Structure 1
Amino acid sequence: MTELKRRPVTFGILIITTFVFMAIQIFRFGDTTSGVTIFEFGGLYGLFLKYDPSQLWRLVTPVFVHIGWQHFLFNLLAIYIVGQLAEQIWGSWRFLLLYILSGIMGNVFTLLLTPDVVAAGASTAIFGVFASIVVVGYFGRSPYLKQMGQSYQALIVVNLIFNLFMPNVGIVGHLGGLVGGLLAAVCLPTVIEKQMFQTWQRLLAGGIYLILVVGMILLAL
């Protein structure tokens, strides 16, 4: 209960993600790999968004939807580990914003570059959080942040290499998540070092994020 109070966003994400996956189990009798099912429960299918742009909310919802037990359990563990660390670094609400912004950027990359794929999963947001920790580790003065940054830099490289040999993994979304997390890390001040970046740097990163997201959506649609 104490951990829940200290890291409410991390556990909130875990609860919502589990609820969605269990709902698929109940209402679709365990069919968690069908493209139709994933789309019905909030997955992203770029070609459909071209047909109906009013469903741009699907750039957010895929981070809570997972394809099969392995995908679900792996990402749940990753959220539990990296989420608590990131929530400690940024605080609860900034961590939530970081998570969502990373997921959106990853899904926008997927929309533009692989529109014929039904995509879902928290990996876009998770990779964004990885990238954010690397950024604050590189630019921060705290030895703790620097150590974490180096660890997650290696983790990103290893995961991307594995992605190359796993055809069913959306590496495009992961790369987009990395870009989103990098920009969000500059925009959002940490609890540990609030003055890590100057105001103009934060505004520049925020502007680049908006230009990328809006520009890619317009190109895709």
Structure 2
Amino acid sequence: MSLPSALELVAKAPVVPVVVIEQVEDAIPLARALVEGGLPLIEVTLRTPVALEAIRMIAAEVEGAIVGAGTVIDRAQIEASLEAGATFLVSPGTTPSLAEAFAQTPIPVMAGCATASEAMRLAELGFEILKFFPAEASGGAPFLKSIAGPLPHLRFCPTGGIGPANASDYLALPNVVAVGGSWVVPADAIRAGDFGKVRVLAAGAAGLKRAAKFG
């Protein structure tokens, strides 16, 4: 059975939750709340000591979850994420050496970029979907709209500064296949164990409409 492509993965939901897990015991109930809310694609950022163990637990125990590793910045993190069971990788930016390492990775990758030139180069290397980061600080939806005409083959998952107030602005663009965001996993709700709130926020995000065509 062939592995899904990055495009096939993001087609499952318009929002990719960007998750920071501080306590490993939060991993499973948090992931279950997201899946139940309609957001199966979960990016666990490698920003905490328990991130890899959280990925391992979610991959093994949460039915329906498609868990990936975010904030991947070097080859060692790629290898550790694969060992933990990550099914996709996301980077905030992409150096030449990281792009080379990603090219040898057997799972989908959303490589990070912030400019048109970076995006064009990554597309030439075969990356199907690019993480536009930090989205709001790098020109936001107006930037992506402006390059959709001259560069219609590029497809993005913007992340950074996106929330319920502006997510629809991004998703209305034909070159945006999904958005990444942390608003569906607020830190205060996680600390309080209020995974019901996460489920409600996820359901709202899962219902957002997008203009991008798939396939």
On whether the aligned pair clears a TM of 0.5, the verdict is no
Structure (1 or 2) with the larger CA radius of gyration: 1
TM-score by length of 2: 0.30
TM-score, normalised with respect to structure 1: 0.30
Q: Higher strand share goes to which structure?
A: 2
